[in-house]
Structure 1
Amino acid sequence: MTAENAEQVGQFERWVRAGASVVAPATAVSAVLFYFGYVSARAQYEYFGIDVDTVGLGTQDYVMRSPQPLLAPLLVLTMLGIGVPALLSATRTRVAGNPRRARRLARACSAAGTVLACAGALLLLTYVQWQGWKLYALVTPLLTGVGAGVVAYARRVRALVRTRTPKERRPLLSGHSSDVLVVVVMAISVFWTTATVAQWSGRGLAMRQARELDRLPSVILDTRERLFLRSPGIDERVLEESPGQTFRYRYRNLRLLIHGNNRMFLVPYRWSASDSTLVVELDGSVRVQFQFQNQRP
């Protein structure tokens, strides 16, 4: 192999490594966005009695739905990213010259963090008793994550003032191992909390939609057979027979909730406890008309 060829191969390898360093994080971010978008969409359409997997949404659809449920968690994490370094800087300034105060602060934070983390672990172990609590999926990861974070802060305070002496008993786990465990617990807690927020966001979006069903696209549906719809408020009329006319029934006061996989999911124009979602296959067996909005241009 000539020097020129070797140089070209080396340059190609560098390009591959650089591309891999970009593609891998991008893939991970896309996977996270897809997951939280899916969780939100699933909770949203469950409210209307629909399994979101039957809608046929694609990866891009779920990714596009992820910003809304992720907005609040990202703002909180951003504020923590700003506040934690500032807190550590203030701690370094105030306790670096007073080891006794730092020791008391570290013990207090360690005790408080342990109590919080143990409370979260207790909720995990008693899931059967607490599963009916509406706030369980939010309080449990928050207690565990905040507890782990406070413990990590206590360890950082000890490291800043170097309070450990050679005569101290060595911990069961090395400092590096325990730090890794704390980070893992915090990461899992953040993921769980964000998933809960995404689920609540989807359910909240569904309830807001249910209050404003009349704002969804209005649909007139013609069918060949009677549908025997039980949702109140839907107008059913029998069409007059005429040569070549194959559609016999017309339904009004329907709204388009979502369309996917060559199917329409229709709901009544007004919410009721006895409402149901109508699934219509667009295979030529029905005739669909979309109405203009009742607003003069």
Structure 2
Amino acid sequence: MAEDSTPSGRLERLVEAGKAVIPPLTLLSALLFYFGYVSARSQYEYFGVDVDTIGLGTQDYIMRSPQPLLTPLLVYAAAGAGSVAVHAAVRRRIHPEAAARTVRRMRRLGRGGQVAGLAALTSGLLLLLGYPFLRDWRPYGLMTPLLIAAGSTLFGSGAAVGRLLRSPAPATPLRRTSTAFVYLVVAVSAFWMTATLAQWSGRGLAMDRANRLDELPSVILDTKESLFLRSPGVQETKLPASEGQTFHYRYRHLRLLIHGKDRMFLVADKWSASNSTIIVPLDDSVRVQFQFQNQPP
């Protein structure tokens, strides 16, 4: 019972309660879904398509999440390993028998970290307050959380170095609260940065795809009525009339961008600012043919 009343015991009970409310696997799936959705939304927005009209499912978005998450996770892992290594190096150099010169050097290091962290944190908060004026600045979504996270980390690390140099003292409720607040700020900032990178990743994938539209499946589309397409390069041919013929127009030089639940999204095979995405329902109102690749076997 005495152990349950300690701060560590209360923290363990809080963690266990959080696991009961939100299982780790559910939380992980939710995060993968969100970042996959952000990336896909940015990707198909480039082609003028609202991703919600495609009809992708939860599994589709989760499967798309590794692409935008790979770089941020590697960076976070490297930053975490570096911080652990620095913390271990600092603790090795701080001991009761340490030379006075070393103590002074470490004290200056801690104060320098606090000053640099406070400057970065202040810059991030100023950017946050200036959102109405800076929201169209492209690096805003990355620089603001990066400055806030880096500033909070440097300030907290500098303060920790200062505490290590002083006589050990039990953690006070204020110190525990401030440490938890720093962790929360860093976590929220990391989430914001990852969402921004996922958005940039989706736009980059779209631009790369637009540069290589000829690699998408080639489609021949027959319709009953003229579509009056305005995309340059799409060829419209009127089919010869015959008995029982219900399809009168044929379109070539189309590519399959993505296949939704009950519809296809087609684009011209060459990118142009005048292009548009064609939504074709999968029913008897159209007739679709997929062409073979031109490269012989």
Q: TM-score, normalised by structure 1?
A: 0.88
Note if contact 1:103-1:163 (Cα within 8 Å) is conserved in structure 2.
no
Q: Distance in 1 between matches of 2:22 and 2:147?
A: 35
Q: Deviations over 1:96-129 (max 9, x none)?
A: 4243333222111111101101100000001122
CA deviation after TM superposition for structure 1 residue 261, in Å: 1.9
Task: Describe how 1:50-129 pairs up with structure 2 within 5 A.
Answer: 50-96=49-95, 97=98, 98-129=102-133
Paired position in structure 2 for 1:289: 289
Q: Which moved more, 1:90-99 or 1:210-219?
A: 90-99
Amino acid at match of 1:285: S
Aligned residue for 1:174, secondary structure, equals: helix
Q: What is the aligned partner in structure 1 of residue 154 from structure 2?
A: 150
- Taking only aligned residues, the RMSD between alpha carbons, in angstroms, comes to 2.0
Of stretches 89-98 and 27-36 in structure 1, the one that deviates more from structure 2 is 89-98
The 1-side partners of 2:63 and 2:159 are apart by 40
Map 1:189-200 → 2, pairs under 5 A? 189-200=189-200
Q: How much does 1:151 deviate?
A: 1.2
- Counterpart CA distance in 2 for 1:275 and 1:39 is 24
Partner Cα distance (1:232, 1:57) in 2: 29
Structure 2 residue 37 is matched with structure 1 residue 38: yes
Q: How many angstroms does 1:271 deviate by?
A: 0.1
Runs of 4+ in structure 1 deviating by more than 6 angstroms, as ranges, are 20-23
In 2, Cα distance between equivalents of 1:221 and 1:25: 47
Give 1:163 shift. Answer: 5.8
Cα separation, 2, equivalents of 1:66 and 1:162: 46
Contact kept in structure 2, 1:95 and 1:101, CA below 8 Å: no
Q: Which runs of 5 or more residues in structure 1 are unaligned?
A: 1-16, 166-170
Task: Give the aligned residue type for 1:273.
Answer: A
1:177-228 Cα deviation digits (max 9, x unpaired): 1111111110011000000000000000000000000110000000000000
Closer, same or farther: CA 39–240 of 1 in aligned 2, 3 Å: same
Over 3 Å counting, the alpha-carbon distance change for 1:52 and 1:245 in structure 2 is same
Aligned equivalent of 2:10: none
Amino acid across the alignment from 1:186: V
List aligned pairs for 1:1-297, cutoff 5 A.
Answer: 24-96=23-95, 97=98, 98-162=102-166, 174-297=174-297
Amino acid across the alignment from 1:272: S
What is the CA–CA distance in structure 2 between the aligned matches of 1:60 and 1:190, rounded to whole Å? 24
- SS at 2:128's partner residue? helix
Using the TM superposition, give the Cα deviation of residue 174 of structure 1 relative to its aligned residue in structure 2, in angstroms. 1.1
Q: Deviations over 1:143-199 (max 9, x none)?
A: 00010111121122123222689xxxxx9x811111111111100110000000000
Q: In the alignment, residue 284 of structure 1 is paired with which amino acid? A: D
Counterpart amino acid of residue 193 in structure 1: M
In 2: Cα distance, 1:135 partner to 1:234 partner? 37
How many residues are treated as equivalent by the alignment?
274
Aligned-residue sequence identity (percent) comes to 58
Residue 9 of structure 1 is matched in structure 2 by none
1:158–1:164 contact (8 Å) kept in structure 2: no
Structure 2: which 5+ residue stretches go unaligned?
Answer: 1-15
Determine the C-alpha separation between the residues in 1 that align with 2:260 and 2:217: 15
Secondary structure at the residue paired with 2:23? helix
Task: Give the CA deviation at 1:70.
Answer: 0.3
Q: Quick check: 1:99–1:163 contact (8 Å CA) kept in 2?
A: no
User: How far 1:133 moved relative to its partner?
Assistant: 1.0
